[in-house]
Structure 1
Amino acid sequence: MTNPSISGLYEIAIGITAADESNVINYWDKFGFTVNLSGNLDREAAKKLYGVDSNVRSLRLQNKVTDRSLLRLMIWDNPVNEGLGLSPLKVVGSRWGTSLCLDVFNVANHAEDGQALGLPIYYVPPQRNLINRPENFTPFYQANPCVHEMVLIQPLTRQVIFQRHDYHRPNSGIVNPDSYFKASEFVHAGLIVDCESERLDFYDQVLGLVRTLDNVESGYSLASRNILEVKKKIQMKECLTLILLLLVMI
């Protein structure tokens, strides 16, 4: 790692147990992540820092071609619960990471076939979302920028995966060419909280994120609403508030 000080919002954390460790490491290897650093906290230290009365061993994984948007596996001796399971993205408490993939339909094929075999998988198939399409667009004669994005949820992973078409952002989504799924680092992270805006103060007043939508109707496209399984536009402080911690825009 060229800069070991990078952490915080550059990191997606997943809680697992020792029984899950090998399988989860192998899974993320398919998306280009490998173990880089490790550390331990005893019960007393973990209780003070995380509020969990358990020893924990952490593994930091990174995409092989970048040192940002890292992945942390937190291996608890006594986890407090089983997590959100296969619930959709929109449930309160949901967190996920989003990454670029050169072939999102390959991932979708695996999800569909795994589900057919009875594996615990919940997914939303790839949805097409236009990206700054020019006015009076003429097919075949103008660029047609868009993405296909999908949701892939398993008991220990919650991912949004997308593929770009007809446009490039070279500094956002550096694909690991050696990975099976030809995937990148996380380009942004998302979480769902309830509608009390004062609970969001931590993110802008402490972490320094810029709050861009507050108490306004969402402008999500049909594809984005399908991804989030929101049937209609919502007020950003009604019932659920979606906070996208954008590390780099799609």
Structure 2
Amino acid sequence: MTAIGHACARGVATLTLDAPHHRNALSAALVADLAGALADCAGDDGVRAVVLTHTGTTFSAGADLRDPPEPGALAALLRQIVALPRPVIARVTGHTRAGGLGLVAACDIAVASTAATFAFTEVRIGVAPALISLPLLPRTDPRALARHCLTGERFDAAEATRMGLLTACGDDVDAVLEPVLDGVRRASPGALAATKRLLTARVLESFDRDADGLTALSARLFSSAEAREGMTAFLERRDPEWVV
């Protein structure tokens, strides 16, 4: 059963992360399903733009610790979003953690409700935001990113907008999204594709230069003793042994 819902209206395809019982965690299956759905959108001339959204109260809790994707598969998914010849727009109404923020950062435009919260929780389970740094570093404020990645603190949609993770936020996310969708529907398909290539060139350069090394780093960290302790502590709902 696919973990991705797919609908299309007036040239806009909506892909929905639909595994709310697992907080839309990035399992191997969900990553594969999303990659397939994005490929379908790329091959459909009737699709002008893609909206990436979710069911439940969580956009994505990050990597599924019980069934994580291979690091290379996650890196490929993030690059696929950046390189897709259609604008990809994140619509976030719930909580977003760790790898889920990589999905948001990879999108061309990201809007969220003010009820959404965000956190880079990797350091708290003994790993680092290695792969998601590929779309994050070119698009976000370095000082804000350093604070949130190094501490794992939770922050709100207003801060996510200020640091560049989000494009905009509001109490009614669909009211924020409406003019964005109207804009892409008024744009010519060829001009949209050409403009996206201009805007994503530097982000794709970071993938082509650094993805292999960061994939290896991610694999090494996830297999470390600290990661084993951190993930076990998370699943057992206790502090890891290094907390002082």
TM-score by length of 1: 0.26
Structure with the larger strand share: 1
Structure with the larger helix share: 2
Higher relative contact order (CA 8 A, sep 6+): 1
